[in-house]
Amino acid sequence: MMEWESVIGLEIHAQLATKSKIFSGAATAYGAAPNTQACAIDLGLPGVLPVLNTDAVRMAAMFGLAVEATVAERSVFARKNYFYPDLPKGYQISQYELPVVHQGHLIIDLDDGTTKTIGITRAHLEEDAGKSLHEDFSGMTGIDLNRAGTPLLEIVSEPDLRSAKEAVAYMKKIHTLVRYLGICDGNMQEGSFRCDANVSVRPKGQERFGTRAEIKNLNSFRFVERAIEYEIERQIHLLEDGGTVVQETRLYDPDQGETRSMRSKEEANDYRYFPDPDLLPLSIDTAFIEAARQALPELPDAKRERFMGEYQLSAYDAALLTVSRDLADYFEATVAALGGEAKLCANWVMGDLSGFLNKESKDIGDSPVDPSQLAGLLRRIQDQTISGKIAKEVFEAMWQGAGDADAVIDQRGLRQITDSSAIEQIIDTVIETNPNQLAQYRSGKDKLFGFFVGQVMKASKGKANPQQVNELLLKKLAG
Amino acid sequence: MHDKTIAQLSAGLAAGKFSSAELVRALLERIERFNGTLNAFITVTADQALAQAQAADQRRAAGQGGPLTGIPIAHKDIFCTLGVKTSCGSRMLDNFIAPYNATVVEKFDAAGVVMLGKTNLDEFAMGSSTETSYYGPVRNPWDLDAVPGGSSGGSAAAVAACLAPGATGTDTGGSIRQPAALCGITGLKPTYGRVSRWGMIAYASSLDQGGAMARSAEDVALLLQIMAGFDPRDSTSAEQPVPDYGASLNDDIRDLTIGLPKEYFGEGLDADVARAIEDAIAEYRKLGATVKDISLPNAPLAIPAYYVIAPAECSSNLARFDGVRYGYRCAEPQDLLDLYTRSRGEGFGSEVKRRIMIGAYALSAGYYDAYYLKAQQIRRLISEDFRKAFTEVDVIMGPSSPTVAFNLGEKVDDPVTMYLSDIYTIAVNLAGLPGMSVPVGFAKGRPVGLQIIGDYFAEARLLNVAHRYQQASDWHTRVPAGF
Amino acid sequence: MSLGPEEVKKIAYLARLAVSEDDVPAYARNLSSILDLVAQMNTVDTRGIEPLAHPLAMTQRLRSDEPTEPDQRTLFQGIAPQVEAGLYLVPKVIE
Ligand SMILES: [Mg+2]
Ligand SMILES: [Zn+2]
């Protein structure tokens, strides 16, 4: 049985978060009525000309710096010529021979705890196409050109990825990075972040690449993983059955869980690239690069390192908390408000808070409990006003808008009982009402200790300080 | 009134000798009378012109406006004009009412210049005779059997026949200079980037340049003054100050050194044309200029390089005409491919299709280096030739066209012979330099034009050199018989 | 350099131009003679010469990122061959 190795490279399209289009002054806001954000330039009217958006260039430069790539002093826009109804000019303005960013890299974490460096061949600026709507319009297709001319950064990896899981890890890392940089909203449902995967297989040990298939337009991490896994299997089966892989474009069908050949797009692909004569060479000087560098936020890897050092968090916790800039900021604001106790803050942010956010599919920015309110709750755990268990109840009330932690604790009488005589009284009652268990315990059945703790906690409605309960019970049960 | 220059008309309007409305009415009558013969105009905007004229008269009465307020001109039908059909001489755009104005049109509007209409041209400016127009050929007012040259043939004929004192044109390979020469008028193709291309329907973007056509260099200076200037909507527009072109018209030219490239006087040049050019050079010597023989060794490669670069750019520029958002759409398309191929196949004429195909071929896989890249390298050599020449001379002179106007139909079936009409003009576009054509006499009863080529942004110098000649000669004042 | 009928058809398809069978020979002849003219380029050695894409040695100017274009859909679609519900219509696109 031959052992196979898969070789994967990703082309990620990240829609840049500019207010206007890459070559026109039309707005880029999502969801507008069809063709209301398609100006003369986006429609490709006769006689119109493109002028480049400075922020698209700035964002590309920021990305280049973030992946330690070269930001080209000189890059060139080219025309990619093909006919398609969502492509108004009959060509897409893109970059071909001289992209704005080249030769960068990114380190991804693998499941076995090791890391791997993935090369980034290039990242280039280009314009997006419009959308074809295949609902029936008198048996025809409708074309909405609002998206035409939206700036894209196409990020092309080296064929360094060896499994679907690695591909997803890489894509997630790029996703985190572009959101950190504030250059892309990362919204995959709206198509702001999507990818094409080039997949091939070869016998393990063979140096030459196998023939690749390109799977187009994958717009979720799950689809990327499934499509690549399916495609690897398909190619291996094909080769083992004595067939050959055809170089082609394929489409992933999430309903069937398979990739299908897109022959319609394949025929006679001859894009006739040449430098766009309406645009001049893009020159980026050191001042521009320095300004982009100044605009860089702390990047995910650096933040994770810092969290591990500054807050003594595990690598796992630090990674989870730095998955987005907003989450990391929330965590840090909570620690600052509480004045320490980073581990406690981390547990709450990753635990209850994230749980509620997920359940209601909310972003951290929409959390009804802000960092100072969460810190207010944690302070009450810290000073033993409430137990961790009661805190969960208080948090839920806060989430539902019942007010600050102190207000909830007071209103609902949730303050912890730390008065030992009060706890002793409860213990006495519990012992009295459970004579059988007491006898068994005293005759050596130690396991029943837990039963008594539970009964006491229950009788105190969970408010008795658990540590005191333990100590006093031990003494009392001993007789 | 119709045979007066823009400068004379401007003085007349300023002195209140006549109103703009009177002037426009007189010209509209002439257009009505002669356009059936000449076919110089595709669209005449009579009502709009009269309204603009009345507004201009009011502006002048209020003591406002500039020297050209109330002056009527014609626009080549390649400039987009809001609310007015902009056909580019093509069936493809026969139904195209432009939804916006070209910058050039906007600038003339702002100056109070009146638009008489839109002039005929070779389809998408691809041609040297104005015979490829969907609207039929234009005739040369000097001889109705002759072509006016092209592609700005409608503008040239309109000015030569005194239907308009001035007109806009565009020049990608000689399309202002060659028709100006063949119609006996004065035309200027400015430096690439001097005049905005916004709203000027693209043929070959790295070569196209708008310019002016009129009966004298002085008039061309007045028109260029309005057209020229930086436009933020055109990335290839030059951020250069615009000089006062009128101020230097009369400058002395005794210190002028004229270069005569030997490549422009060799085989292929008609002997009678050569004689008229030599007479003009002799006149310049009389005016005190020094003449020097020079060489532009790569000039013979200009046409081959051009017929790769221009078609390559046009094959891409004209891809937008697909029958989806505007323009011609074929009847009852069976499917998407049918929509594309028939709309384009029926909407474009054969010369346009030829150039699109040559361009698509030159850019296609496996041919790019041999054709496109090679042509761009030759373009560099040609531009270097000029750079070297301008270290020795101030202007370069030669014929605008190797022959006088040829007869209608004479070259229409032989594209390559037609292409050779632009043998002396094309190198200037490849280098992006400014060039003029000035009438310097007749051969075989048809006009001869002298080409004057300048260094980058030396339009003021060119106009000065042309003006001094026109002060000493009267070729530019001749009007064809019957007009 | 001469182009045969099959090549003419291939290029016509690439450029999405319907060319009738009757016109193919004329296109083949004319395009071939243009390519012969163009072949004169090969008389000069251009090794090492940097291609010139633009006559002026300028670099790209940048525009500030501001939405400046108003909605003009009604105006633009007034000249469109076929629209419905604000969309441009084309024969059904099969993916
Ligand atoms: Mg790609
Ligand atoms: Zn792309």
CATH number at residue C17: 1.10.20
Rounded Cα distance, A59 and C62, in Å: 13
Average pLDDT of the residues of chain B: 97
Q: What is the residue extent of each domain of chain A?
A: 4-291, 298-411, 420-478
Neighbour-count burial for C6-43, b at 16+ CB within 10 Å, e otherwise: ebbebbbbbbbbbbeeeebeebbebbbbbbebbeebee
For chain C, the helix, strand and coil percentages under 3-state DSSP, each to the nearest 5? 40, 10, 50
Q: Which residues of B are catalytic?
A: 76, 151, 175
Taking CB atoms and an 8 Å limit, are B376 and C54 in contact across chains?
no
**Residue of chain A whose Cα is closest to the Cα of B315:** A81
Distance from CA of A142 to the nearest CA of C (A): 5
How many other C-beta atoms can be found within 10 angstroms of the C-beta atom of residue B302? Answer: 27
Domain count, chain C: 1
Task: Give pTM, 2 decimals.
Answer: 0.93
Q: Is the dihedral of CA A261, A267, A272, A278 positive or negative?
A: negative
B84: containing domain: 6-249
Taking CB atoms and an 8 Å limit, are B363 and A81 in contact across chains?
yes
Q: Which of residues 259 through 278 in chain A touch C, CB cutoff 8 A?
A: 262, 264-265, 268, 270, 272, 275, 277
Q: Which of C11, C72, C81 sits opposite B323 (nearest CB)?
A: C81
Instruction: Give the ipTM of the model, two decimals please.
Output: 0.97
Q: How many residues does chain B have?
A: 483
Q: Which of A28, A143, A283 sits opposite C88 (nearest CB)?
A: A143
Distance A105 CA to ligand 1 centre (A): 19
Give the model's pLDDT for residue B273: 98
Averaged pLDDT, C7-36: 96
Facing residues of A124 across strands? A154
C45, B312, B240, B258: CA torsion to nearest 10: 50
**Residue of chain B whose Cα is closest to the Cα of A92:** B316
* pLDDT tens over chain A, length 479 residues: 789 999 999 999 999 999 999 999 999 999 999 999 999 999 999 999 999 999 999 999 999 999 999 999 999 999 999 999 999 999 999 999 999 999 999 999 998 889 999 999 999 999 999 999 987 778 899 999 999 999 999 999 999 999 999 999 999 999 999 999 999 999 999 999 999 999 999 999 999 999 999 999 899 999 999 999 999 999 999 999 999 999 999 999 999 989 998 864 445 579 999 999 999 999 999 999 999 999 999 999 999 999 999 999 999 999 999 999 999 999 999 999 999 999 999 999 999 999 999 999 999 999 999 999 999 999 999 888 888 888 999 999 999 998 999 998 888 888 878 888 888 889 989 998 998 988 898 888 888 899 999 989 888 888 888 888 888 888 888 87
CATH number at residue B203: 3.90.1300.10
Cβ neighbours of C60 in A, within 8 Å? 52, 77, 279-283
Cβ neighbours of B322 in C, within 8 Å? 16
Beta strands in A227-371 (DSSP E): 248-253, 258-261, 274-275, 282-283
Q: Is the residue at B291 inside a domain? A: no
Domain count, chain B: 1
Give A420-478's CATH code, choosing from 2.70.70.10, 1.10.10.410, 3.90.1150.10, 1.25.40.10.
1.10.10.410
Distance from CA of A178 to the nearest CA of C (A): 19
Is residue A97 less than 8 Å (CB to CB) from chain B? no
Cβ neighbours of C79 in B, within 8 Å? 95-97, 99, 326
Rounded Cα distance, B150 and B91, in Å: 18
The tokens describing A299, both together, are 């990047």
Q: Is the residue at C14 inside a domain? A: yes
Distance B142 CA to ligand 1 centre (A): 57
Distance from CA of A303 to the nearest CA of B (A): 41
Q: Is the residue at C10 inside a domain? A: yes
Rounded Cα distance, A297 and B41, in Å: 61
Distance A400 CA to ligand 1 centre (A): 47
The tokens describing A118, both together, are 């993935």
Q: Is the residue at B173 inside a domain? A: yes
% of chain B beyond a pLDDT of 90: 98
Is residue A183 less than 8 Å (CB to CB) from chain C? no
How many other C-beta atoms can be found within 10 angstroms of the C-beta atom of residue C70? Answer: 11
Which of A42, A54, A269, A274 to substitute to test the interface with B, most B CBs within 10 Å? Answer: A274
Q: Which of residues 272 through 331 in chain A touch C, CB cutoff 8 A?
A: 272, 275, 277, 279-283
Q: Is the residue at C23 inside a domain? A: yes
Is residue A91 less than 8 Å (CB to CB) from chain B? yes
Taking CB atoms and an 8 Å limit, are C41 and B307 in contact across chains?
no
pLDDT for B246-299, tens place per residue?
999 999 999 999 999 999 999 899 999 999 999 999 999 999 999 999 999 999
Taking CB atoms and an 8 Å limit, are B99 and C78 in contact across chains?
yes
**Which residue in A130, B328, A86, A90 sits closest to C81, CA to CA?**
B328
Distance A249 CA to ligand 2 centre (A): 14
Average pLDDT of the residues of chain C: 95
Give the model's pLDDT for residue A467: 85
C9: containing domain: 5-43
Give the model's pLDDT for residue A468: 86
